[in-house]
């Protein structure tokens, strides 16, 4: 792991709430679940034998716990990311030997972050700080708790798939939770950007993950143009294929994640947060389900209206056509 880019001073976001980086669709679900008393107890019951002690012992026995003496550079970057996000209590961080480019946040009562060794080999310090900030975002939002429910529903869905109609209800719930999980990853990316406070770094991470690290062979402008081509395909068959592909994914595709971050930055929200205008933890209790649900609905509506994807355009045109017919019928009755 090398640091080819000079470290820039970062603004410490004191008292920042996780609501600041949560995507509207993610935040709406989280606020609702946080208001639902006893939900965490239900999820823990569903977890059965898999508990915090098992996770802890597995990591202690098979991975390396990061500290000032073990992976000291990773530890320093982790503390820096946590300081920037004003984290009150650091989750344990482990490095696991794996060639897979991935990191994860697991556990419920005491979330733990696991960083695969392949990422340390691939990323420079700024990029690694982004990944650590991403995972801290998951931990602070409580995603580990709620994603456990998705995992168990997926397992249950496979078990019930052979039972006639048995998996239909679970399929609907799993699809909804899968969509939420993908939005939760976008939330993590925003937390990662706030932790590193370097837009080029955030996009660079997605480029490296998509290419396996061949950054010298890539161009950021063309990479983002590729994202636009994926999102705005004018072929209906391609649009339907995207829907089928996403159903089995818990993470958005890399080019899409880069484009989503770019849109969030262009919205002005990221700049406002760095200027000190962000939600505070002290006001979390005042967050209402209705406001967050409205924000989520507005987010989906805006995406629907602005999308150039063939399937979305077709639905939009059909909706507009039905609306025009409705207005025409209304005019006929008015004239009679």
Is 229 in the active site? no
Distance CA 169, CA 21 (A): 31
Nearest to 89 by CA among 140, 27, 13: 140
8 DSSP 8-state letter: P
Q: Which of 22, 80, 127, 135 is catalytic?
A: 135
d(CA 63, CA 178): 28
Cα–Cα distance, 289 to 34 (Å, whole number): 10
Interatomic CA distance for residues 46 and 145, integer angstroms: 11
Handedness of CA 186, 188, 194, 195 (dihedral sign): negative
Q: Which residues contact 136 (CB under 8 A, 6 or more apart)?
A: 81, 82, 85, 87, 91, 113, 191, 195
Q: Which residues are catalytic?
A: 135
């Amino acid at each position: 792991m090398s640091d080819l880019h000079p470290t820039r001073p970062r603004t410490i976001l004191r008292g920042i709430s996780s609501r600041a980086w949560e995507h509207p669709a993610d935040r709406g679900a989280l606020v609702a679940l946080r208001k639902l008393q006893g939900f965490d107890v239900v999820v823990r019951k569903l977890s059965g034998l898999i508990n915090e002690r098992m996770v802890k012992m597995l990591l202690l026995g098979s991975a390396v716990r990061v500290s000032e003496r073990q992976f000291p550079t990773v530890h320093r970057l982790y503390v820096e990311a946590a300081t920037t996000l004003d984290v009150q209590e650091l989750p344990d961080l482990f490095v696991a030997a794996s060639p897979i480019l991935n990191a994860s946040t697991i556990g419920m009562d005491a979330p733990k972050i696991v960083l695969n060794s392949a990422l340390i080999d691939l990323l420079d310090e700024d990029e690694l700080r982004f990944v650590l900030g991403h995972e801290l975002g998951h931990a602070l939002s409580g995603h580990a708790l709620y994603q456990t429910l998705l995992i168990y529903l997926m397992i249950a869905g496979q078990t019930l798939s052979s039972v006639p109609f048995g998996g239909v209800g679970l399929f609907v719930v799993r699809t909804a939770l899968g969509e939420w999980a993908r939005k939760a990853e976008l939330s993590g990316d925003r937390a990662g950007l706030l932790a590193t406070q370097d837009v080029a770094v955030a996009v660079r991470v997605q480029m490296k993950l998509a290419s396996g690290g061949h950054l010298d062979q890539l161009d950021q402008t063309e990479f983002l143009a590729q994202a636009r081509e994926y999102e705005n395909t004018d072929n209906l068959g391609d649009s339907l294929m995207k829907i089928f592909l996403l159903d089995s994914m818990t993470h958005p595709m890399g080019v899409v994640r880069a484009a989503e971050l770019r849109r969030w930055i262009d919205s002005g929200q990221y700049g406002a947060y760095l200027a000190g205008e962000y939600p505070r933890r002290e006001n979390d209790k005042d967050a209402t389900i209705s406001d967050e649900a409205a924000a989520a609905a507005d987010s989906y509506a805006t995406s629907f209206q602005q999308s150039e994807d063939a399937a979305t355009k077709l639905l939009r045109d059909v909706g507009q056509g039905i609306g025009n017919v409705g207005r025409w019928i209304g005019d006929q009755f008015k004239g009679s």
